[in-house]
Structures are given as C-alpha cells and as structure tokens.
C-alpha cells in the first residue's frame, strides 16, 4: 500500500515527456520575445535620448552611424548567425559551442573589414560626420560579435543567455548615457562610444557564456564550407535593404522629404510588429531545425505562423487607425497628419509581410535559403518601381500603396516556393554536423 502511495505521488509530481517538451518550447519562445523586446527598446530609447539632447546636424550624424551599423549587422548575419541557425541548431551542445566560436571569428573579421571601410569613409567626409563614423568604425567588430552571440544562443536553444547578454548591454549603455547627460554632453560621438563600448563588454561576456573564445584561424574554411547558406542569406539582405533604401531616396526626390518622413513615422508606429515578427521567426527556425518534423507538420507550422502574425498585425493596425489625433500628435508631432494618411496602406503591407513569414521560416529551416532570395529578387525591384511611381502620382500615400502592390504580387510566389521546399525536404550538405542533439529527429529526405 505504501509503495502504491509513493508511486502515485511520483506520478503526480513528474510530468509526462510531451508536457515537459511543450513547457521547454514555450519557455524558449518567451525568452526569444523578451530578448528581442529588450534589444529593440534599447535602440529606440537611445535614439530618443540623443534626439532630445543634440542638434539636428549631430542627430543626423548619429542616424548615419546607426544606419551603417544596421547594414553591417544585416549582411554579417549571413555567414555568421544564419549558418548557426540553419546548420547547427540541431547539433549536440559541444558542436554548437565550437561552431559559435568559429562564427565569432568570422564576425570579428567582418566587423574589422567594415570598420576599416567606415573609418576610411569618415576621413573623407565633412568634419561633422567624421568623428561619429570613425567611432563606430573602430567598434564595429565588437558590435558584430555581440549580435552574433545573441543569434548563437537562440540557435543553441538557450535564448535566456541572449536575453542576459542584451540586458547587460542595455544596462551598461544606460549607465554610460546617464553619466553623459549629467556631464552635459551635447555631441553625438560620446553617445556612440557609450553605446558601442557597452557592446564591447557584452561581446566579451558572450564569449564567456559560450564557453569558447572566437577562433580566427578557421574563418576561411568556415566561409568555404558554408557558402551555400551564407551567400544566399547575404544576398537576401543586400537585395531588400538596397531596394528599400534606394526607394526612399527616389521618393524623397519625387514626392519630397516630407513624404519619406511620413513613411518613416508610420514605420515607427508599426515598430512593435517588427519586434513580434522577428522574434517569431528567430524562434521558429531553430526549433524546426532541431526537430525536423514531417511534411504535414511543416505545412501546419508555416500556415499557423503566418495566420497569427496577420491577425496580430491587423489588430495593432486597427488600434492605430482608431488613435485620436491628440494622441497621434503627442507621439509624432506635426508628422502625425501626413503619417496618418499612409497608415492604411502601410498596415496592409505589414500584414502581407506577416503572411509570408511562416513560409520563409520553413524554407530557411529546410536550408532552402535560395528560395527566399528568389522572392526578394522580385520584391525588391517591385518596391523600387511601384513606390516611386506612387510617390510621383500621389505623394506619400501613393508610395505606401506601391509597397502594398509589391507585397501582394510576390505572396503567391512565396507560398509556391514554400510548397516546393516542403515537397523536396531539407537540403543536406557535406558541411552539416555529424552529431545531432538527443531527441532530434532524422531529416525525412536528403537531396
């Protein structure tokens, strides 16, 4: 009888394996969202503070430096973070640590090359830009390495470490910025050094969290072994970033600088949706790589992710459309009136983007990165052409409508390629790790 009671108590206390697995997945998802929220809010807070205390010219210099950082991070994700997510998320822990160390060496090298180019550019521009560009150029290796660690920890299934690292960066930069504010700093360079210097400390701590320091001797081999993932991923970033940035330049030329300001303001209001979308994709891709689920489950995941994001996007968009003018003006000032006119179309474009996230996430998890390149190779030129035509005919609202038509045009192609990727299965490579973490499923197909 006592034995039966002990057995019953053990049955009550110890959850079944599926329940434990669901709890672990849920916890990882929450940590990914928390990490993305901390990172995005820290950047937004820093931008807001600098905008309040420096001149317009100084803020423009900071904005340029931050644009350089964003571009370098996006392009460096291909050979560093994306390889870790797509190729090593299902590997054993020791293999993941070695891979992260190798990717760390590539990240530092990429940051150093970009930093030297930025410093060289800084030496050639106006004095008002020179100091900021040189400051960010010197610290770009640390900035790229810190971003690589956060991606590595998510790929390893320990997003809590990514959250801790980003939180450390945020706290350090908050302390440094507070000191600068108390000291009465009114130039952009000290704030850039505070922001990037805090990233340097976080990057060093990230190496300790990983358990292995970045290795530099394997960078060339890493790039050669994983070019099938890194090259399409980098091309993806270059195509879409280049198209959007060039579109804004042309919109400014045809519709005026105010048109670009209205679109940027609308994007700011829709910023929380970017946090959600990026967090969901960052969570889903490594989870799919770890589990290698069968085709029916891949289809369900792809559809479910897109449906959830579209619903969230639509709900947030509805809130923005119902926002009273007084509240909008409190957030955006005089820009609210023009931003409000672009909101319906920009909300629709955000929903269309969300509708593609599930498909592209599954494609990436199946190592079909080239498929998303095909989508963006069509989307980029369409955005460029249609938004500029819209700006010329109807200003900012017309440009926003051009974004919508471009997004709607590529959605069928995106889901067609999704179906093809699922039918073919995961694309295997000789560079895939030999070991897989306990509990990971064997891929269903090898192509």
pLDDT tens for each residue of 341-366: 999 999 999 999 999 999 999 999 99
Q: What is the arithmetic mean of pLDDT over 21-43?
A: 85
Instruction: Quote the number of domains for the chain.
Output: 2
Distance CA(172)–CA(178), nearest Å, equals 10
Number of helices and strands in the chain (H, E): 16, 0
Domain boundary among 216, 242, 269: 216
Same domain, 447 and 299: yes
Task: Copy the structure tokens of residue 275.
Answer: 């946090």
Same domain, 185 and 241: no
% of the chain at pLDDT higher than 70: 92
On whether residue 10 sits in a domain, the answer given is: no
On whether residue 2 sits in a domain, the answer given is: no
Q: Report pLDDT digits (tens) over 372-404.
A: 999 999 999 999 999 999 999 999 899 999 999
pTM: predicted TM-score of the whole model, two decimal places: 0.81
Q: Residue 427: is its pLDDT beyond 90? A: no
Same domain, 109 and 165: yes
On whether residue 12 sits in a domain, the answer given is: no
Q: How many CB atoms lie within 10 A of CB 257?
A: 10
Distance CA(261)–CA(267), nearest Å, equals 10
Same domain, 172 and 233: no
Q: What is the arithmetic mean of pLDDT over 330-341?
A: 83
Domain boundary among 216, 235, 256: 216
Q: Report pLDDT digits (tens) over 221-233.
A: 998 889 888 899 8
With cut-offs at 50, 70 and 90, classify the pLDDT of residue 412. very high
Q: Residue 309: is its pLDDT beyond 90? A: yes
Same domain, 446 and 310: yes
Q: Find the angle CA(370)-CA(375)-CA(380) to the nearest 5 degrees.
A: 120
Question: N- to C-terminal Cα distance for the chain?
Answer: 57
Write the Ramachandran bin of 439: left for phi over 0, alpha for psi from -120 to 50, otherwise beta: left
Q: Report pLDDT digits (tens) over 178-204.
A: 999 999 888 889 999 999 999 999 999
Q: Which of 191, 51, 395 is CA-nearest to residue 387?
A: 395
Q: Report pLDDT digits (tens) over 138-173.
A: 999 999 999 999 999 999 999 999 999 999 999 999
On whether residue 55 sits in a domain, the answer given is: yes
Distance CA(6)–CA(37), nearest Å, equals 44
What value does the CA radius of gyration of the chain take, rounded to a whole number of Å? 23
On whether residue 17 sits in a domain, the answer given is: no
Q: Residue 444: is its pLDDT beyond 80? A: no
Q: Determine the pLDDT at residue 431.
A: 62
On whether residue 231 sits in a domain, the answer given is: yes
Average model confidence (pLDDT) for the chain?
87
Regarding predicted confidence, which is higher, 18 or 238? 238
On whether residue 411 sits in a domain, the answer given is: yes
Domain boundary among 164, 191, 216: 216
Same domain, 294 and 156: no
Same domain, 197 and 265: no
Q: How many CB atoms lie within 10 A of CB 170?
A: 19
Q: Determine the pLDDT at residue 43.
A: 82
Write the DSSP symbol of residue 444.
S
Q: What is the arithmetic mean of pLDDT over 251-271?
A: 83
Distance CA(200)–CA(208), nearest Å, equals 13
Task: Copy the structure tokens of residue 205.
Answer: 């701590």
On whether residue 15 sits in a domain, the answer given is: no
Same domain, 240 and 183: no
Q: Determine the pLDDT at residue 435.
A: 54
Q: Report pLDDT digits (tens) over 123-142.
A: 887 777 888 899 999 999 99
Same domain, 101 and 239: no
Same domain, 111 and 241: no
Same domain, 171 and 303: no
Q: What is the arithmetic mean of pLDDT over 311-332?
A: 91
- Is residue 119 within 8 Å of residue 266, measured between CB atoms? no
- Given the structure tokens 């010329």, which residue do they identify? 392
**Enclosing domain of residue 244:** 227-447
Task: Copy the structure tokens of residue 212.
Answer: 């292995």
Write the DSSP symbol of residue 14.
S
Q: Which of 432, 114, 12, 435 is CA-nearest to residue 446?
A: 432
With cut-offs at 50, 70 and 90, classify the pLDDT of residue 331. confident
- Is residue 187 within 8 Å of residue 165, measured between CB atoms? no
% of the chain at pLDDT higher than 90: 52
With cut-offs at 50, 70 and 90, classify the pLDDT of residue 436. low
Distance CA(235)–CA(4), nearest Å, equals 63
Same domain, 326 and 398: yes
């Amino acid at each position: 009888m006592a034995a039966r009671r002990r057995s019953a108590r053990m049955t009550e206390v110890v959850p079944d394996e599926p329940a434990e697995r669901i709890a672990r997945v849920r916890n990882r998802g929450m940590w990914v969202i928390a990490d993305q929220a901390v990172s995005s809010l820290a950047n937004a807070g820093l931008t807001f503070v600098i905008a309040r205390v420096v001149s317009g010219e100084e803020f423009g210099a900071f904005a340029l430096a931050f644009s350089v950082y964003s571009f370098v991070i996006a392009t460096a994700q291909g050979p560093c973070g994306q390889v870790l997510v797509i190729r090593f998320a299902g590997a054993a822990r020791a293999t993941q640590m070695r891979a992260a160390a190798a990717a760390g060496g590539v990240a530092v090298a990429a940051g150093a090359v970009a930093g030297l180019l930025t410093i060289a550019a800084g030496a050639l521009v106006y004095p008002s830009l020179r100091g900021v560009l040189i400051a960010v150029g010197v610290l770009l290796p640390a900035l790229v390495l810190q971003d690589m660690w956060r991606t590595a920890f998510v790929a390893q299934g320990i997003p809590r470490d990514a959250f801790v690292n980003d939180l450390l960066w945020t706290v350090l930069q908050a302390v440094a910025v507070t000191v600068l504010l108390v000291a009465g700093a009114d130039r952009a360079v000290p704030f850039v050094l505070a922001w990037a210097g805090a990233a340097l400390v976080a990057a060093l701590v990230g190496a300790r969290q990983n358990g292995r320091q970045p290795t530099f001797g394997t960078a060339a081999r890493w790039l050669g072994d994983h070019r099938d993932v890194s090259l399409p991923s980098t091309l993806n970033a270059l195509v879409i970033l280049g198209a959007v940035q060039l579109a804004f330049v042309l919109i400014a030329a045809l519709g005026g600088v105010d048109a670009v300001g209205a679109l940027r303001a609308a994007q700011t209001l829709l910023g929380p949706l970017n946090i959600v979308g990026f967090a969901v994709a960052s969570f889903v891709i490594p989870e799919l790589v770890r589990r290698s689920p069968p085709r029916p489950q891949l289809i369900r995941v792809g559809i479910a992710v897109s449906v959830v994001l579209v619903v969230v996007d639509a709900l947030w968009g509805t809130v923005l459309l119902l926002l009273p003018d007084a509240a909008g003006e409190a957030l955006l000032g005089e820009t609210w009136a023009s931003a409000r006119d672009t909101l319906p179309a920009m909300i629709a474009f955000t929903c269309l983007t969300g509708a593609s996230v599930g498909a592209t996430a599954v494609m990436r998890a199946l190592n079909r990165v080239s498929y998303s390149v095909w989508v963006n190779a069509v989307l980029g030129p369409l955005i460029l052409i249609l938004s500029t035509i819209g700006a010329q005919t109807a200003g900012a609202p017309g440009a926003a409508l051009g974004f919508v038509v471009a997004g709607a045009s590529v959605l069928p192609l995106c889901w067609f390629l999704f179906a093809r990727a699922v039918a073919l299965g995961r694309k295997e490579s000789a560079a895939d790790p030999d070991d897989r973490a306990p509990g990971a499923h064997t891929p269903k197909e090898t192509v």
